Structure 1
Amino acid sequence: MSAHPSIGFIGFGAMAQRMGANLREAGYPVRAYAEHQQDGERHGTPMEPLATLLPQAEVVIVSLPNDAVLEQVLLGADGVLARLESGRLLINTSTNSPALSLRLEAAGRARGIAVVEAPVSGSTPEAEQAQLVVLAGGEPEAVERARPILETLSKTVHHVGPTGQGAAIKLAINGLMGAGLAALAEALAYATRAGLDAEVLFEVFGDLAVLSPHHQRKLAALREGDFAAQFPAALMHKDMGLLLAELNATYQGAPTLAAAAQQLALGAELHPDADYVITADILLEEAEDAATR
């Protein structure tokens, strides 16, 4: 029998699959549920329907794409929180609104279930290497209960404050990522229109300290034409929308983030399942066309 609690994933996309593999390697019994696959295996993890997964899972880890899906799956009379036994732990790694995090915590508390929000910073390479940064929010006792699991998945676990603050800081971080990519795309497009050779541009920009490691990686993907989704454009669009809604609710002006969100929406509209760096490729193609006219 394993010394580790049994874990059930709800939502088992690219990030969750890699997290599940790391937990299995560390000795945790792991099962998963995904709406479109409820038997067999995915990335080495057994897939099960909720009816058999929930009774066995001492800890449930949730990785779902947006507020609407989270509400549908977790809340309500037949939702996961209503079907879990008292005393269980639910860790929500999704990126969602702070308001929904508070609702999930309240629903869990009413059932005697500890709920920890734990969105992560990092994409699939960091998930695979267990180098994510966890942004945990919740009651200290609940976060400490979740910490051994979270530390297995990450290089750092930050308890950033009470529930809602994990979601808030994740949106701020993703806003920084999105705005940085938008600025990089516009700078490359300008230089292309000015007639600079593409290889020269990539060589010079790849040598700059002003680009973060994350944006250096996006630059390399752009150079190689590799748009496999480490962070899908549709999810970036969703996160920027959540951030702008929070800013509007607090009457904070953020014109840079608003403009970046509008630019990133182009990639989400045309190529929602591609990595969000696809927006830079769209701008570069336009710039190359303009330079040759």
Structure 2
Amino acid sequence: MTTQQTIGFIGFGAMASRMGDNLKKAGYALVAYTPSGKGGDGSTPFLPSPADVAKKADIVLVCVPDDEALAAAMYGENGALAGMHANQLLLNTSSVSPEATDALQKAGQDKEICVIDSPVSGSTPEAEAAALVILAGGDDALLARAKPVFDCIGKTTIHAGPSGSGARLKLVINGIMGAGLAAVAETIAYGLAAGLDRSMLFDALGEVAVISPHHKRKIRAAKEGDFTPQFPTRLMQKDMRLLLDAAARQAVPMPTMAATTQQLSLTRRAAANEDYSALIGVMEHIVANDA
């Protein structure tokens, strides 16, 4: 598909820049804003504020790390909403709280802006390969408008339900991802402490069906001590914190998720900007000096 539409990125980090590359390949033009005012390889124009990006873009795509960054990018005289017009499409791919998601939907509705919460499942390899899974909340007509963009950055789009459902589904998925990694890290630590050969142990876990493909990728990297960030610890820990808060609001007990959050808080202290699988390294270090 070729189009002359312009996508305005608010946030242009590791995930967004890879999405942008795939949108450029499909014929879209890009403009972007980052809080630092820097980024990219020079082929994407960077503008001084989110409002400026919104004015230049046909569709705005926001990809920022947390609720605070979303608020700073969306609201106020320089925020994206100030530069948007009625019926313009705003795609929020950020992983943020349900409350922040609902607030943005309400603010957009007040200005007749069409907001879709559309966080993505996948890390930088999936973003680069246009193989993300988009978790979209909104009505059918809005999702149909966004489909050409989603098809350029992802392999499939899940219609999670009405507005806000995508953000809530993302917390479910990331909770499973975080708890699964914690289980892997703990049991690897046991195996090492019990005297199993390290190389055999890591390789064996790559062969068994009980380990997800995602976690097998993390185990392979951890075997080499490679925690190059595909999903930084600080973001995984943030998502676990959001899940715990959201679950508490629904009076849903989550003892497993609470314990995982504590482990990731420890890992964030040690390796905030490394991949969240650094938890495997932390656990290995704990048992490394055992006789």
Q: Give 5+ residue unaligned stretches, structure 1.
A: none
Normalising by structure 1, we get a TM-score of 0.95
Change (3 A) 1:118 1:284: same
Partner residue in 1 for 2:208 = 208
Partner residue in 1 for 2:35 = 35
Matches within 5 A, 1:190-209: 190-209=190-209
Q: What per-residue deviation string (whole Å, max 9, x for no partner) do you get for residues 212-250 of structure 1?
A: 000000001101111111000000010000000011111
- What amino acid is aligned across from residue 218 of structure 1 in structure 2? K
Aligned length: 289
Query: Within the alignment, does 1:130 sit opposite 2:130 as a pair?
Result: yes
Deviation at 1:266, TM superposition (A): 1.1
Partner residue in 2 for 1:169 = 169
Partner residue in 2 for 1:54 = 54
Partner residue in 1 for 2:268 = 268
- The answer as to whether partners of 1:21 and 1:43 remain within 8 angstroms in 2 is no
Query: Within the alignment, does 1:116 sit opposite 2:120 as a pair?
Result: no
Matches within 5 A, 1:232-271: 232-271=232-271
Q: What per-residue deviation string (whole Å, max 9, x for no partner) do you get for residues 125-145 of structure 1?
A: 000000000000013222211
Partner residue in 2 for 1:153 = 153
Deviation at 1:166, TM superposition (A): 0.5
- The answer as to whether partners of 1:118 and 1:134 remain within 8 angstroms in 2 is yes
Q: Distance in 2 between matches of 1:253 and 1:245?
A: 11
Change (3 A) 1:43 1:135: farther
- What amino acid is aligned across from residue 218 of structure 2 in structure 1? K
Partner residue in 2 for 1:22 = 22
Deviation at 1:60, TM superposition (A): 0.5
Deviation at 1:99, TM superposition (A): 1.6
Partner residue in 1 for 2:231 = 231
Q: Percent identity?
A: 46
Where 1:96 maps in the other structure, the secondary structure is coil
Deviation at 1:52, TM superposition (A): 4.1
Change (3 A) 1:186 1:140: same
- The answer as to whether partners of 1:133 and 1:158 remain within 8 angstroms in 2 is yes
Q: Distance in 1 between matches of 2:48 and 2:62?
A: 15
Aligned structure 1 segments of 4 or more residues deviating by more than 4 angstroms = none
Deviation at 1:84, TM superposition (A): 1.3
Q: What per-residue deviation string (whole Å, max 9, x for no partner) do you get for residues 56-114 of structure 1?
A: 10101000000111112102354211221222111000001112111111111111210
Where 2:54 maps in the other structure, the secondary structure is helix
Q: Distance in 2 between matches of 1:71 and 1:41?
A: 23
Q: Distance in 2 between matches of 1:213 and 1:45?
A: 34
Q: Which moved more, 1:14-23 or 1:25-34?
A: 25-34
Q: Distance in 2 between matches of 1:181 and 1:61?
A: 30
Q: Give 5+ residue unaligned stretches, structure 2.
A: none
- What amino acid is aligned across from residue 135 of structure 1 in structure 2? L
Deviation at 1:4, TM superposition (A): 3.7
Q: Distance in 2 between matches of 1:4 and 1:99?
A: 35
Q: What per-residue deviation string (whole Å, max 9, x for no partner) do you get for residues 151-194 of structure 1?
A: 11101011110111110110000000000000000000001110
Q: Which moved more, 1:223-232 or 1:79-88?
A: 79-88
- What amino acid is aligned across from residue 216 of structure 1 in structure 2? K
- What amino acid is aligned across from residue 91 of structure 2 in structure 1? I
- The answer as to whether partners of 1:21 and 1:45 remain within 8 angstroms in 2 is no
Q: Which moved more, 1:251-260 or 1:226-235?
A: 251-260
Q: Distance in 2 between matches of 1:280 and 1:44?
A: 38
- What amino acid is aligned across from residue 246 of structure 1 in structure 2? A
Deviation at 1:54, TM superposition (A): 2.5
Q: Distance in 1 between matches of 2:58 and 2:227?
A: 37
- The answer as to whether partners of 1:16 and 1:63 remain within 8 angstroms in 2 is yes
Normalising by structure 2, we get a TM-score of 0.95
- The answer as to whether partners of 1:95 and 1:167 remain within 8 angstroms in 2 is yes
Partner residue in 2 for 1:90 = 90
Where 2:36 maps in the other structure, the secondary structure is coil
- What amino acid is aligned across from residue 111 of structure 1 in structure 2? K
- What amino acid is aligned across from residue 183 of structure 1 in structure 2? A
